[in-house]
Chain A
Amino acid sequence: MTSTFLGMPATAPRGVGHLRGDQPFPAAARRSLADPQLRRNLRHATTTIRAKSAAVIAEAPDWQQLRDAGAAIKADVMSRLPELLEQLEAAVTRAGGTVHWAADAVEANRIVTELVAGTGSDRVIKVKSMATQEIGLNEALEAAGITPVETDLAELIVQLGDDRPSHILVPAIHRNRAEIREIFLRAMPGVDPALTDDPAALAAAARRYLRQTFLHTPVAISGANFAVAETGTLAVVESEGNGRMCLTLPDTLITVMGIEKVVPTWRDLEVFLQLLPRASTGERMNPYTSMWTGVTPGDGPQQVHLVLLDNGRSAVLADEVGRQVLHCIRCSACLNVCPVYERTGGHAYGSVYPGPIGAVLSPQLTGVADNASLPFASSLCGACFDACPVMINIPELLVHLRAEHVTDRRRPTAESIAMAAAAYTMDHPALYAAAQRAARLGKVVGRRGRGLPPPLSGWTVSRDLPQPPPQTFREWWAEL
């Protein structure tokens, strides 16, 4: 193998992690759509967050200028990624931290598992992190006899409920308070049987349950929202204080971070710390943001590790149109405004990255063939593009990936034959006029579309076909 070959960008490997679902989106969506409780929970939650976010964004008179700056900083990062990562590595190392590089999920899981094993602990506390979900770190730790404890409330609900996360910010968004109470009563050791479904009581139950675990676990694993190349500073943005616990109490802290999370300068945080909370939780500022630079003697973890993860990101970077997906700061605003997500929920997307951003991120990380239905899981309504704090043009990416899917397919399909025929017809006005007349004859199909083949019959399950008019516009015009 030549070094050129080893240096080729690669997609995320199969068989590890959670980037691929087990069925295509339309089939998975059908299951969610049939669950009225899920639909109500999602509608309630997304409606709430949309209103909150809109209110605090309206307070910022320079929101658009912040978005412009955020997009420009991220584009700059992508174009200078190698030097910024080397700069970050040097700064973290200088400050007493240790930097590891992981080409994919398998390597990252091995590195983290070995670091934990090296401490002798058989338990780790975890701050919610998309990167560690993506690589399936919990499963890898469990296989090595190490118990990962999720400490974010929603992650805890998912873990205790033996469930899967369905939202980037609020992984248990598909559960309402009554369901959460039931999960706690069933699966939380030592829970008060008189627990009510009051959200404050549920939060207090989690506080009691995790307190001793926080105080007595010597290793924590986190993600990072931002890493500053010039200073080596890492930042975690959170609400509950579980992040502070994990980042402060243990002696060893291991942070797993996608390579795209680096920002060039300390000053750049002034943009993202304004964009993220308003777009994400709809707050002017989230309750807690922790920042640390390597090791501070006598304060916080004394063994600090940073694992830089590729796992398909370099392959995304190779696509000049597609790479803007790496600008994502995981705020989940696009999920909250998406009419598809609001109705199907996150599980339908298969990957840990659901919603509009997931529909363009997952297929790029895995290669389009492994998530071929996701770029089509959108009506291209554009609400996601408007909501994105770093202005990722998600509709453009969806169309780009649809084209990639169509081009990649080797054999013609019924659809590709029909599309080619339609294009040919429409490029020949005489054929086009003939086809219009044929459509009129199609009236025999009837308004309910009897006799139409799938997938066209999908239309008439719930809608009537319009009656073709007696005369097309161009026939009318010709008679004028």
Chain B
Amino acid sequence: MRIALFVTCLADTMFPEAAKATVRLLERLGHEVVFPEGQTCCGQMHVNTGYLDEALPLVRRHVRTFDPYDVVVAPSGSCVGSVRHQHAMVARRAGDERLASQAEAVSARTYELSELLTDVLGIEDVGAYYPHRVTYHPTCHSLRMLRVGDRPLRLLRRVRGLTLVELPAAEQCCGFGGTFAVKNADTSTAMMADKMRHVLATGADVCTAGDVSCLMHIGGGLSRLRAGVSTVHLAEILASTEAS
């Protein structure tokens, strides 16, 4: 299958390993990955901060860039959530009904990584090997906007060598929320502190998730604590093999 990678601006710039792992994983599974060059950012930060007019050209660019592809994947629940639940709304608000229906068409072909693997490609055992104690944070937008449910857990359970430990209060937000973390830094920090406490309570050496943004937030806090727990994107775990 020919799959277009929507890398997301944050993974592209700050966490390329998650994106590279997505490519390695899909190629290992026998698929062709293409990277449409015109892509930049889905505009989620602008929309969620109230800058819907500013987001319009980004929506237009995203739709134009990914319109030619049958299957699009992103290693980010929240960016897929934005494509699925915000792009058409931004277009409609600007009175561009044509763009709105194009956005809906693109969003129907856009998948978060665990959705692509389990629903489209129909696999749970991706042949990965990852000898670590891992806990999974479900991230709000994967959980509640996309309803990915236990798809990531099903994938993780099939990874050889991996010990999966349950995260207490897993469904609570880590406190990132984009510009929320800046505008309400104190509240965000209080939420993060509880999330870190729960991560540490699991005794895991790796905390994983399907969103680099939440991992950046949790990882930033764990790093400050020198807790010895690392944050690793789901794609990196699934891309790991005994050879790597």
Contacts and interface: CB of A to CB of B under 8 A. Distances in A.
Direct contact of A and B (CB under 8 A): yes
B13 A419 contact: no
Interface residues of B, number: 68
Interface string A392-429: 00000001011111110000000110011011001101
A461 B192 CA distance: 12
Given A340-B187, A376-B184, A405-B50, A464 B144 contact: no
A439 B182 CA distance: 18
A320 B79 CA distance: 27
Contacts of B51: 403, 406, 416, 419-420, 423
A345 to B, nearest CB: 11
Interface in A309-343: 339-340, 343
Interface residues of A, number: 60
A33 B194 CA distance: 13
A423 B57 contact: yes
A379 B224 contact: no
B12 A472 contact: yes
Given A378-B177, A382-B140, A469-B16, A461 B189 contact: yes
A339 B175 contact: yes
A458 B219 contact: no
A402 B58 contact: no
Residue among A380, A405, A427, A473 with max Cβ neighbours from chain B (10 Å):
A473
A5 interface: no
B186 A29 contact: yes
A429 B65 CA distance: 12
Given A403-B50, A439-B13, A463-B217, A427 B58 contact: yes
Interface in B16-47: 16-17, 19-20, 23, 35, 37-38, 40-41, 43, 45-47
A467 to B, nearest CB: 9
B220 A339 contact: no
Interface string A453-480: 0011011011111101101111011000
Residue among B55, B181, B190 with max Cβ neighbours from chain A (10 Å):
B190
Contacts of B191: 339-340, 343, 379
A436 interface: yes
Interface in B87-140: 93, 140
B140 A469 contact: no
B61 A427 contact: yes
B69 interface: no
Given A385-B144, A420-B54, A436 B12 contact: yes
B16 A476 contact: yes
Interface string B45-72: 1111111111101100100000000000
B58 A33 contact: no
B49 A419 contact: yes
A432 B40 contact: yes
Contact of A33 (B17, B55, B186): B186
A376 B180 CA distance: 7
Interface string B202-244: 0000000000000011011101100000000000000000000
Contacts of A416: 51
B1 interface: no
A474 B12 contact: yes
B16 A473 contact: yes
B155 interface: no
Interface of A: 25-26, 29-30, 33, 39, 339-340, 343-344, 375-383, 385-386, 399, 401-407, 415-416, 419-420, 422-423, 426-427, 429, 432, 436, 439, 447, 455-456, 458-459, 461-466, 468-469, 471-474, 476-477
Given A423-B54, A468-B13, A379 B173 contact: yes
Nearest to A455: B182
A381 B216 contact: no
9 contacts: A343-B187, A402-B50, A406-B49, A423-B51, A423-B55, A456-B182, A463-B217, A473-B19, A474-B37
Contact of B184 (A29, A386, A471): A29
Contacts of B220: 459, 463-466
A427 B40 contact: yes
A71 B221 CA distance: 40
A87 to B, nearest CB: 35
A462 B37 contact: no
Nearest to A432: B40
B121 to A, nearest CB: 22
Contacts of B199: none
B17 A459 contact: no
A439 B9 CA distance: 12
Contacts of B48: 380, 399, 402
A462 B51 CA distance: 27
Contact of B224 (A25, A375, A382, A464): A464
Contacts of B12: 436, 472-474
A26 B38 CA distance: 38
A343 B190 contact: yes
Nearest to A435: B13
Given A380-B180, A455-B183, A459-B181, A468 B50 contact: no
B177 A419 contact: no
Residue among A376, A426, A427 with max Cβ neighbours from chain B (10 Å):
A426
A386 B144 CA distance: 8
A442 B108 CA distance: 37
Residue among B20, B188, B223 with max Cβ neighbours from chain A (10 Å):
B188
In the A-B complex, list the 8 residue pairs whose CB atoms are closest, starting with the nearest: A379-B177, A402-B50, A463-B220, A458-B185, A381-B173, A382-B144, A406-B50, A473-B16
